[in-house]
Structure 1
């Protein structure tokens, strides 16, 4: 695949991250590439009526793009590239919609936090290649309908929030790390990276995407559930002695599980904790979802740390406790139908 051969790109799930990428692609690539989004509800209606609006970090006014938008992927033609902005626990329900966009050469770039459903496809770091997990991919619908061979892994370092329907606020000048599950530098991933760079989406290609996944998970497995349980911002968590100690405990467990599966980590736990103090007063994605009354992304971020700990015989007591608490929080939130008192 060459970058100029990518003519149709669909962002499936145009929330905070997906929507911001859609705007950059639409504004940066012009008419050479047809950009579309799959969204729903008030967000979709606002995109149709007023365009999709993104406030860059520090900007006083938004960038607005008029983009083809639908809630039914079957209305769109086959795509050369699909970029998913859905969270891990939302993907299985969207499998048939994503599958409707595919032609034989379509690649699917999945922006995901935590352990992705395709994690062990072509994995050479551990002895668990091609292992599947029911909790990540119920009934193997993603594995069967999309196929892990289509996946381009993507780890995002971009703070973003949907502040109103059709409106997205970015909190930093982010970056994305791409990687093939095989860790090969293929023509496809080179073309996709080049297309994103042309549109102003800062990205790099990793020679080991699993290491990137684990390094990001160090923070996600700690900050997301702790913020949801306490409703605290990142600064509040990191400057509270008890909470910051718990963060370090979770990070230590995540690192031990990752290392048991062959992952390498860039920083020590002490360095990672210190680095986190500079993030600022940010609401994590799980806290955003809790306050909006949405279901929480628990399994990829916390549940899989526990499950993979059992697989590798690595103890994860703090993560197990947090998993039980945040699972019950999610249960009660969904029962009451609202994330706020």
Structure 2
């Protein structure tokens, strides 16, 4: 009987990719990290401890080998370039792709880039982590991934069993994705535009803006069929208030590092779907214009 370990390819060596690679390694699998550049080391810092990871990193697609699982952890705007670089080498007829990315359009974003029969699991990541330097990740808090309650989703939950990341399944992934978008849709753009960390949301006028942005997001989500209520907005603010003032967001980290932000997949998605469903979103539209301006080169 074969004792071959499950082959897990993690695309993207950012905060989520490093955390996911460590989890798959801890679960006992053969893990390879695929990235554009090789970091000098892989380190996860948490609670004043430093864990050094012994996981191979490959930067040349010619060296890639087919995998049983692909964990795609790049920013959503980098999906097409990552797929073009790696999918031809990593995919075989039995590969399942897990999209650990923000947004509410995982299938629309990825399915055109894969063979029709390839399994796809959209995933919502609730892990607050920051890249301090290439390969050096500070894990601030959180350790949950949510996936659809499907056969492939359940298999993925088993894949990371025994690691410090918990994979939860849900029968209503559409609503779960919009709840995650609520969390992103105020804190991410506000911190990115102001270049301030989460403490900025304690300013009364900023908090008022955040509430108004989320009211628009909720209305759009409901129009798409998501079961969102005012309790979801209250829960979002509860999460914000539980964060330390010096915590940040993924869009803030990208802005500070001079990278392109995910505004089109977060605020942009709200505006586009608002237009599609005839839901007015004037505040999200204004914030999107500011984000595009900040990102202009």
TM-score by length of 1: 0.80
Output the CA distance in 2 between the equivalents of 1:155 and 1:88: 12
Say yes or no: does 1:46 pair with 2:46: no
Q: Name structure 2 gaps, 5 residues minimum.
A: none
* Alignment partner, residue 65 of structure 1: 53
- 1:73 CA displacement: 3.3
Say yes or no: does 1:166 pair with 2:154: no
* Alignment partner, residue 240 of structure 1: 203
SS of the residue corresponding to residue 266 of structure 2 reads helix
* Alignment partner, residue 259 of structure 2: 294
Q: CA RMSD in A?
A: 1.9
Q: Kindly provide the CA deviation profile for residues 54-93 of structure 1, in whole angstroms up to 9, marking residues without a partner as x.
A: 123x2x2222221121122341211100001111111111
Q: How do 1:54-203 and structure 2 match up within 5 A? A: 54-56=44-46, 58=47, 60-100=48-88, 101-118=90-107, 137=109, 142-147=110-115, 150-179=119-148, 185-186=150-151, 188-203=152-167
- 1:147 CA displacement: 5.0
Given candidates 29, 33, 36, the residue that maps to 2:32 is 36
* Alignment partner, residue 260 of structure 1: 223
Bigger shift: residues 79-88 or 68-77: 68-77
Say yes or no: does 1:251 pair with 2:214: yes
| Divergent runs of 4+, >3 A | none
SS of the residue corresponding to residue 118 of structure 1 reads helix
Say yes or no: does 1:226 pair with 2:190: yes
Given candidates 244, 269, 277, the residue that maps to 1:280 is 244
Q: Name structure 1 gaps, 5 residues minimum.
A: 120-136, 336-341
The answer as to whether partners of 1:289 and 1:296 remain within 8 angstroms in 2 is yes
Output the CA distance in 1 between the equivalents of 2:92 and 2:5: 12
The answer as to whether partners of 1:23 and 1:53 remain within 8 angstroms in 2 is no
Q: Size of the alignment, in residue pairs?
A: 291
| Gap change, CA 1:18 and 1:295, over 3 Å in 2 | same
- 1:5 CA displacement: 8.0
SS of the residue corresponding to residue 289 of structure 2 reads helix
Q: Kindly provide the CA deviation profile for residues 135-170 of structure 1, in whole angstroms up to 9, marking residues without a partner as x.
A: xx5xxxx43331576220111111001112221110
The answer as to whether partners of 2:13 and 2:135 remain within 8 angstroms in 1 is no
The answer as to whether partners of 2:8 and 2:67 remain within 8 angstroms in 1 is yes
Output the CA distance in 1 between the equivalents of 2:24 and 2:184: 27
Output the CA distance in 2 between the equivalents of 1:76 and 1:34: 13
* Alignment partner, residue 124 of structure 1: none
SS of the residue corresponding to residue 141 of structure 2 reads coil
